[in-house]
Amino acid sequence: MINILIILFLLIGQAENEAKEHFNRGFNRYKNNDFPGAIHEYSKAISVDPFYIRAHYYRGVAHYDIKKYEDAIYDFSTVISLEGGNANAWFYRGLSRYRSGDKINGCDDIRRANSLGLHVVDYISRMCN
């Protein structure tokens, strides 16, 4: 029984390391404006660890940057479902919704980000009044 637990522990550690490696590669690609490459690496990290919040978040940011708003909404919604108090995810989902034409829900998300402590009153004033 102890051997099985040790093997499981080692496998989990390997998966975490693999996911982090893909995430780091994705982040480097993102910094170099290789958004498709970043999305690919973040997706690999997510395939290894479906609960990797940072990978979902940054993949959403990369999707947003290349105007793939529906994909960004999906990623930010995933982050929100895993970590409901993530103000940045609420904000970017709001921007993505707004830019895709869903201004009402977009503004609701941006207001939610503000209520969670992200200071985005200027966005609310400009976009949602």
pLDDT digits (tens, 9 = 90+) for 25-57: 999 999 999 999 999 999 999 999 999 999 999
Q: Which bin fits 52, alpha (ψ -120 to 50), beta or left (φ > 0)?
A: beta
Asked if pLDDT for residue 95 goes beyond 50, the answer is yes
Closest CA to 60 of 49, 76, 44: 76
Of 32, 84, 25, 34, the residue nearest 55 (C-alpha):
25
pLDDT at 17: 84
CATH number at residue 66: 1.25.40.10
CB neighbours of residue 65 within 10 Å: 14
Can you read off the two tokens belonging to residue 80? 């929100």
Total domain count, the chain = 1
Q: What is the pTM of this model?
A: 0.88
Average pLDDT of the chain?
A: 91
Res 68 pLDDT > 60: yes
Domain of residue 86: give its range: 2-127
Per-residue confidence (pLDDT) for residue 4, from 0 to 100? 55
DSSP per residue, the chain: -HHHHHHHHHHHHHHHHHHHHHHHHHHHHHHTT-HHHHHHHHHHHHHH-TT-HHHHHHHHHHHHHTT-HHHHHHHHHHHHHH-TT-HHHHHHHHHHHHHTT-HHHHHHHHHHHHHTT---HHHHHHH--
pLDDT tier for residue 2 given thresholds of 50, 70 and 90: low
